[in-house]
Amino acid sequence: MNHYELLGISQSATTQEVKDAYRKAALRYHPDRNGGSDAQFKAVATAYETLVDDVKRASYNRTIPKPKPPEKPKIKGKIPKFAKYEDRLAWIAANDPNINADLWKRPTYAKPKPPRPQPVKKTDANGFYDAFSRQYTDDYVPPIR
């Protein structure tokens, strides 16, 4: 059991948290108390001395073995070719428990609105439609620019 587990703290604990955890553990494992032993009390004292001093703590942290990440189970065989991306994704999700298929789905976007129809120049058999006066005229009058 390493010093952090013995005191019940994390590796990122501050010095004050180490002191508080030491006081609780010292009371719990004190030889004069019921359930306490001399060996456990000495281990708690050693852990406290190591973790309170920054130099000792840094050297102790280098000696702690880092936990190995769990190995991922491999997919048996090769991934077959699929016509659609979604079919391939469904096959992988069914055969590999480590993959969350929902994260790899293609995003769905809203369909674009159709373009607005352009205004049509209305003409009559006798003349043109004047948009300003909203009337049909007999003769074409070009706009003034």
Which pLDDT does position 55 carry in this prediction?
93
CATH number of domain containing 48: 1.10.287.110
Establish if 42 belongs to a structural domain. Answer: yes
Does residue 106 form part of some domain? no
Helices 54-63 and 38-52 pack at an angle, to 10 degrees, of: 110
- Residue 132 belongs to a domain: no
pLDDT, position 120: 61
Length of the chain: 145
Residue 87 lies in a domain: no
| Structural domain harbouring 40 | 3-63
- Total tally of structural domains belonging to the chain: 1
Residue 75 inside a domain? The answer is no
Please report whether residue 56 resides in a domain: yes
pLDDT tens digits along 80-91: 788 887 787 778
Flag whether 89 is in a domain: no
Indicate whether 127 belongs to any domain.
Answer: no
Q: Are 122 and 129 in contact (CB under 8 A)?
A: yes
pLDDT value of position 124: 52
Please list the ranges in the chain whose pLDDT falls under 70: 72-77, 79, 97, 100-107, 119-145
